[in-house]
Amino acid sequence: MDQAKIGIDAGGTLIKIAYYQDRIVNYHSFPSTALEEAASWVARQFENPAVCVTGGKSHALAERLYAEPKTVLEFDATAQGITYLANQQEQSIGDNFLFVNVGTGTSLHRVNNGKQKRVGGSGVGGGTLMGLAFLMTGMHHYEQIVRNAAEGNRENVDLKVKDIFEGTVPPISGDLTASNFGKTEEIVNERPADEDILAGMIGLVGEVLVTISSQMAGQYDAESIVYVGSSFKSNPLLQEIIKKYAGMIGKKPVFLKQGEYSGALGALLSL
């Protein structure tokens, strides 16, 4: 029997696992706080596996694994995983592309002929959404936040360009956001619903990321922008906002199925 192979990306929010089963790649995840549970799961599922780990919590996880793992640089693993997924899903991303890894925070990387280089980042990411959501609505479960945000209306909190140029034709698209949470008069007079606030938060995160990544893509003449990361897990609203806002400024974003597992998949492929 062939030795089992496992790739693990232990990040700040999730521990993501990719492994072969019947020659098919399978995926599993745990909260980043569940290091012991993740290590126990690996021990129960696999006998003497080959393991490769990556990510910010990889050292802490490695100490709990029964097998001595190989380690790989997180950014290299993610780039390799993205290329593999794009090929499998027949997504054309080119040899010179930018990938935006939206986890707790956000990291931007250029991949040129298979070599990745980190070119920027932002503290705005999934952690921003979680922190602001709790401070403003008291919600702290990711699934609840995303579910409620999908029911919200950003028009009740965000100031659009068309709101400023009322009665006249604006010089740019009226649907662009002039100010996130900028409808201050309405907000002061009546507190918006939690759903509207959450939708506005996801809008803020998405628009910031599109703006930064589009500028980087222009600087490096990137053929495409690939968005991956745990913040897209069960969060179609964030994808929709990025697609819409990117389209307004002439960019086409690429989303990959299982893209949040790119790092784990790259670690698996390195074995």
Per the annotation, the verdict on 36 as an active-site residue is no
Contact present, 225 and 213 (Cβ < 8 Å): yes
Residue type, 130: M
Structure token digits, residue 76: 């290299």
Residue type, 221: D
Q: What are phi and psi of 141, to 5 degrees?
A: -95, 125
Catalytically annotated residue among 37, 63, 68, 74: 74
| Largest pairwise CA distance in the chain | 73
Contact present, 6 and 243 (Cβ < 8 Å): no
Structure token digits, residue 24: 């098919």
187 Cβ neighbours under 8 A, 6+ residues apart:
157, 181
76 Cβ neighbours under 8 A, 6+ residues apart:
116, 266
Q: Which residues pair with 97 in a beta bridge?
A: 111
**Residues assigned a catalytic role:** 74
